[in-house]
Amino acid sequence: MESRSLLRSGLEPGALTRFFRTVRETSQALGAPLSDADATVQSMPDASPAKWHLAHTTWFFETMVLVPHLPGYRVFDENFNFLFNSYYETIGARQPRPRRGMLTRPALATVYAYREHVDAAIERLLTKQLPTAVAELIELGCHHEQQHQELLLTDILHLFAQNPLLPAYKAPGPVAVEISAAGAPGFKSFAGGIVEIGHQGEGFSFDCEGPRHRVLVEPFRLADRAVTNREWVEFMSDGGYRNPLLWLSEGWTTLQAEGWSAPLYWHERDGDWWTMTLRGAQPIDPAAPVTHVSYYEADAFATWAGKRLPTEAEWEHAADHVAITGNFADCGRLRPKPAPAADGNLRQMFGDVWEWTRSAFSPYPRFRPAAGAVGEYNGKFMCGQFVLRGGSCATPPGHIRASYRNFFPPAMRWQFSGLRLAEDG
């Protein structure tokens, strides 16, 4: 089994052009509801302004693709290399991440002009007979932008949650109140043994998804749906946030320091739990998956329930033959929804909420980062992070795979992160 490159294209030129246009148009549509002020403010160091996301993804195409591969290309603004570089040390100095919200200039209109300038140049490049490596860079840029589309939504949610008016990114519409029932989860058994995980076959994957390799998995059982808000309320009512015996040491320290007593965005109104969503403040749906919980909270809940979190190998092995359908960003709901009726199969493996696993984000056997700046994409973060699987209600459609490895530090809660229980078989 050979080591996979970060860059692997499965698209012919016409399909690549269509993919590029779709991705860029989707980002424009996501930014459309935002004012210049909405798009400029940064609500915390881990979030970025929407304007920065729109510019950074454009900077990626300009810096990684156009400057080295389109002769005669004119850089839109030399200052943008400093303003919109994210973490690429080999490319140069950059605006510190916690101070991206200080970028009141350029204005949002200038960022959109920047996007038009770069889009026109990429379109010119796509009319040429491209070397495979250049086509792969463009495809990587598209998948990179899809990641930032999800971040744009989660960062806007965090920003709007700080506003006492609790504004809605999208009108509440028919999902303002949708209370439904959910029975107890079922558990599906897996025999274990030596299994293969990691991306295989044709099509795009990030470098951290490979190489495909063998893993010994002990027999296990996996819940057929994600943990719900109703179950989380039971955990809270039973003192889940007050019992140190349920928590990892660092988790308990974080809970005390941050004052956690409920998932992020939850608040009480007249004895009922509400949560902030991209459609404004809404009552929680007891049957929908709990979201905006940290790894520490997920692990504590699993301990309270007498279960555990699955490993990423267990999760991928279980999901390997599950259809990749679910509540993704294109559904327009922009919040998790209850699982479909039980049918003996795994439900909600894709969409709704990213599911924490108990696995640290570390390199697979024989992993090698790509050469050059793009090699900084994933490998440099393989320390102090935990893996999440499955995508969420803010993930673009077509951007997820069974092998997809998302990762965040264990205290992070602003993403659409939830959990699914597992137990030994």
Q: Are residues 344 and 236 in the same domain?
A: yes
Beta bridge partners of 197: 213
Unique residue bearing structure tokens 């490998």: 379
Q: Are residues 155 and 181 in the same domain?
A: no
Separation of alpha carbons 151 and 395, rounded Å = 9
Q: Are residues 134 and 188 in the same domain?
A: no
Q: Tell me the HSE value of 40 on the side-chain side, using a 13 A CA sphere.
A: 13
Computed over every residue of the chain, the mean pLDDT equals 92
Q: Are residues 234 and 333 in the same domain?
A: yes
Other Cβ atoms closer than 10 A to 363: 14
8 Å CB contact between 137 and 64: yes
Unique residue bearing structure tokens 């779709």: 22
Number of structural domains found in the chain: 2
Q: Are residues 353 and 306 in the same domain?
A: yes
| Percentage with pLDDT > 90 across the chain | 86
* Last residue within a domain, chosen from 114, 133, 161: 161
Q: Are residues 240 and 306 in the same domain?
A: yes
Q: Which helix (H) or strand (E) holds 120?
A: helix 108-126
Other Cβ atoms closer than 10 A to 273: 17
Residue 128 DSSP symbol: S
pLDDT of residue 4 exceeding 60: no
Q: Are residues 265 and 408 in the same domain?
A: yes
Q: Per residue in 212-259, pLDDT tens?
A: 999 999 999 999 999 999 999 999 999 999 999 999 999 999 999 999
Q: What pLDDT was estimated at residue 376? A: 56
Q: Are residues 227 and 279 in the same domain?
A: yes
Q: Strand 266-269 to strand 417-418: parallel, antiparallel, or no bridges (unpaired)?
A: unpaired
Q: What pLDDT was estimated at residue 369? A: 81
Separation of alpha carbons 119 and 357, rounded Å = 38
Confidence of residue 28 (pLDDT cuts 50, 70, 90): very high
Residue 306 lies in a domain: yes
Residue 192 sits in which domain range? 173-424
Instruction: Locate 106 and state its tokens.
Output: 């350029």
* Last residue within a domain, chosen from 128, 161, 194: 161
Nearest residue to 415 via CA among 389, 384, 381: 389
Q: Per residue in 146-204, pLDDT tens?
A: 999 999 999 999 999 999 999 999 987 655 444 555 678 999 999 989 999 999 877 89
The mean-pLDDT minimum among 4-13, 29-38, 47-56, 232-241 falls in 4-13
Q: Are residues 32 and 116 in the same domain?
A: yes
Residue 168 lies in a domain: no
Q: Tell me the HSE value of 64 on the side-chain side, using a 13 A CA sphere.
A: 30
Instruction: Locate 241 and state its tokens.
Output: 């946030």
Higher pLDDT, 173 or 54: 54
**Residue 411 phi, psi (nearest 5):** -90, -5
Residue 108 lies in a domain: yes
Residue 6 lies in a domain: no
Q: Are residues 139 and 204 in the same domain?
A: no
Q: What pLDDT was estimated at residue 235? A: 98
What integer is the mean pLDDT of 45-63? 97
Q: Per residue in 302-328, pLDDT tens?
A: 999 999 999 999 999 999 999 999 999
Q: Are residues 150 and 177 in the same domain?
A: no
**Residue 208 phi, psi (nearest 5):** -70, -10
The Cα angle at residue 229 between residues 301 and 281, in degrees rounded to 5: 130
Looking at residue 415, which CATH number applies to its domain?
A: 3.90.1580.10
Other Cβ atoms closer than 10 A to 144: 19
Residue 357 lies in a domain: yes
**Cis peptide preceding 211, ω within 30 of 0:** yes
Q: What pLDDT was estimated at residue 392? A: 98
- Which region holds residue 334: left if phi is over 0, alpha if psi is between -120 and 50, else beta? left
Confidence of residue 5 (pLDDT cuts 50, 70, 90): very low
Q: Are residues 314 and 202 in the same domain?
A: yes
* Last residue within a domain, chosen from 139, 161, 183: 161
Residue 36 lies in a domain: yes
Confidence of residue 3 (pLDDT cuts 50, 70, 90): very low
Separation of alpha carbons 103 and 41, rounded Å = 9
Other Cβ atoms closer than 10 A to 178: 15
8 Å CB contact between 108 and 90: no
Q: What pLDDT was estimated at residue 131? A: 92
